[in-house]
Amino acid sequence: MTTLVIIHEVDDVDHWLSSPKRQEFFGPLGITARTFVSPDQPNRVGLVVETPSIEAFNESMQAPGAAEAMKFDGVRPETLQVFQER
């Protein structure tokens, strides 16, 4: 397994936290995520993601439905930052 830290901004933190889309999209791919919210920046959130590989994660982000899921969750794609554990 590969561990990633992903940070980005969202339109509505409460909606993002309660959305089932993350699990619906990533779950079948064997990808899990724990959610975090910045205490200082109200629209900045983070994830600790466990994925079979960085390649699997990157492929999932290019898969049909990825952009739709991000849009539904209010993710601001231009703010997305991905860090891989070393």
CA 69 to chain CA mean position, Å: 10
- Residue-level pLDDT at 13: 98
- Residue-level pLDDT at 14: 97
Q: Do residues 85 and 39 make contact, with C-beta atoms less than 8 angstroms apart?
A: no
The dihedral built from the CA positions of residue 25, 35, 85 and 75, taken in this order, carries a sign that is positive
Q: Which residues of the chain have pLDDT under 70?
A: none
- Residue-level pLDDT at 54: 96
- Residue-level pLDDT at 57: 97
> CATH no. for residue 23?
3.30.70.100
Half-sphere exposure of 80 (CA within 13 A, CB side): 12
Q: How many domains does the chain have?
A: 1
- Residue-level pLDDT at 35: 98
Closest CA relative to residue 23, chosen from 12, 33, 36: 33
Domain with 18, as residue range(s), is 2-84
